Amino acid sequence: MSVYKKFAGQTLIYGLSTIFSRLFNFILTPIYTRVYPTSVYGIFTKMFSYASTINPILAFGMETTFFRYLNKHEDKKQEVYNNSFLVIAFISMLFLITGLVFSDYLARFTLNGSISELANQKLYVQYFVWILFVDAISVIPFAKLRADGKPFRYSLIKFLNIGIFVGFNLLFIFVIPWLIKNDGFLSHWLASWYKSKWVGYVFVSNLIASIITFVMLFPQFLEIQFKFNKALFNKMFGYSWPVLVANLSFIINETLDKILLSKYLPTNIADHDIGIYGAVSKLAIFISIFNTAFRLGAEPFFFSHAKNANAKQTYATILYYFVLALSVLFVGLTANIELIKHFISPPYWVGLGAVPYLLFGYVCLGIYMNLSVWYRLSDQTRFGLYISSVGAIFTIIMNIILIPKYSYIGSAWVSMFAYLIIMVISYVLGQKHYPIPYNLKRMVAYLLVSVFLVYLSFWIFERNIYIGNGILVLFLMGIFYFEKNNIVKMLKK
pLDDT digits (tens, 9 = 90+) for 50-69: 888 898 889 888 988 898 88
Alpha-carbon distance of 444 to 23, in angstroms, equals 30
Mean pLDDT, rounded, of the chain: 87
pLDDT at 19: 66
* Residue range 475-488, pLDDT digits in tens: 999 999 998 877 66
pLDDT at 40: 82
pLDDT for residue 425 is more than 90:
yes
pLDDT for residue 13 is more than 70:
no
Alpha-carbon distance of 289 to 18, in angstroms, equals 7
Dump the DSSP string for 248-316: HHHHHHHHHHHHHHHHHS-HHHHHHHHHHHHHHHGGGHHHHHHHHHHHHHHHHHHHHHTTSTTHHHHHH
Boundaries of every domain in the chain: 2-492
User: Is 253 within 8 Å of 388 (Cβ atoms)?
Assistant: yes
- The pTM of the full predicted model, rounded to 2 decimals, is 0.77
pLDDT at 1: 47
Q: What are phi and psi of 182, to 5 degrees?
A: -100, 15
* Residue range 77-101, pLDDT digits in tens: 899 999 999 999 999 999 999 999 9
Q: How many residues does the chain have?
A: 493
pLDDT at 373: 82
